[in-house]
Amino acid sequence: MKDVLDLEIPTYDDMLAAHDRIKPHIRRTPVLKSDYLNELTGADLHFKCENMQEPGAFKVRGASNAVFGLTASEAAFGVATHSSGNHALCLSYAAGRRGIPCNVVMPRTAPQAKKDAVRRYGGTITECEPSTSSREDTFAQVQARTGGEFVHPYNDPRVIAGQGTCSKELIEQTDGLDIVVAPIGGGGMISGTCLTLSTLAPQTQIIAAEPEQADDAFRSFKAGHIIADDAPHTIADGLKVPLKDLTWHFVSNHVTDILTASEDEIVDAMKITWKYLRQVIEPSCAVPLATILKNKHVFAGKRVGVIITGGNVDLDNLPWTRKA
């Protein structure tokens, strides 16, 4: 692990600059509330609906900040990345808006809806095996061939500064929050949340939510150093990737706690989100609500922001109708 002094840590001003840069390319997504979910949890929940971004996920923020921050000469060869899905399609979307190429490496097991969207936005997909090692090897070949600017899905200061704009809006759209909960995979959204709230609302607690079956961030947090698993199995396909040095910096310094949920609890939270918010969300994005329902004592009586990170789901293949 690199020493923290070697890291290019994004600042609050970087986040403010990112927001100005990306505003024409993203939506200021609405914040939904539900009396029934408030009754069910005892908390005052505010759902920031990033599933309503044009490409269906918060990652359009970081991707747009990276793409539109490139100089013309940097942008000439386009951008390239590896991603379990949403970063791939959001980077394709941002690159498409700027009119530059986008090459992405995706696991062959990534959801069809996400692969379709990458292609619709003009991205080029190279498939790899569903493991961190295969993904990184394949990507090295693609980048060598294309020369595209590498935009890491989360361990990139431009991306983290972009993701931080989400909680800036969330704070502006509410009357203050005691806790913000977001899912954690590689830690990009959580790091952006830490970046923004540690300056804008330092009294607000930041809780990360993770699948039990991909709980490397939870174990890292308890151990005090990064623990990375290769190819964990969980329905929350967006949360399988490990923390990296830059996101670990934010997680280890600013996160209050990490809570986990089982596969069944995640699917139940998806169903409840549909029933009461009428939003169909990805399993990854249901993990925060799953942890709230499981740990009501932590959230009861609190003003809680919940980041609904994305909605790219195969409607014809929902987890509760899927053939075994």
Q: Which of 3, 297, 320, 323 binds a copy of itself (CB under 8 A)?
A: 320
> Is residue 280 near a copy of itself by the rule CB under 8 A?
yes
> Is residue 30 near a copy of itself by the rule CB under 8 A?
yes
> Is residue 316 near a copy of itself by the rule CB under 8 A?
yes
Min. distance of Cβ 205 from a copy of itself in angstroms?
27
> Is residue 32 near a copy of itself by the rule CB under 8 A?
yes
Number of residues that bind a copy of itself (CB under 8 A): 23
Q: Is the Cβ of residue 32 or residue 75 nearer to a copy of itself in the bound state?
A: 32
Contact region with a copy of itself (CB under 8 A), list: 76-84, 130-138, 158-166, 270-278: 270-278
- Separation in Å, CA 207 to CA 10, 45, 123, 202, 259: 20, 14, 33, 13, 7
Min. distance of Cβ 323 from a copy of itself in angstroms?
12
Q: Which of 73, 321, 323, 324 binds a copy of itself (CB under 8 A)?
A: 321
Query: Between residue 56 and residue 95, which ones bind a copy of itself under the rule CB under 8 A?
Result: 56
> Is residue 51 near a copy of itself by the rule CB under 8 A?
yes
Min. distance of Cβ 274 from a copy of itself in angstroms?
6
> Is residue 318 near a copy of itself by the rule CB under 8 A?
yes
Min. distance of Cβ 63 from a copy of itself in angstroms?
15
Q: Which of 2, 23, 33, 108 binds a copy of itself (CB under 8 A)?
A: 33
- CA–CA gap between residue 187 and residue 255 (Å, rounded): 11
Min. distance of Cβ 94 from a copy of itself in angstroms?
12
Residues at the site binding a copy of itself, with contacts judged by CB under 8 A: 27, 30, 32-36, 51-52, 54, 56, 274, 277-280, 311-312, 315-316, 318, 320-321
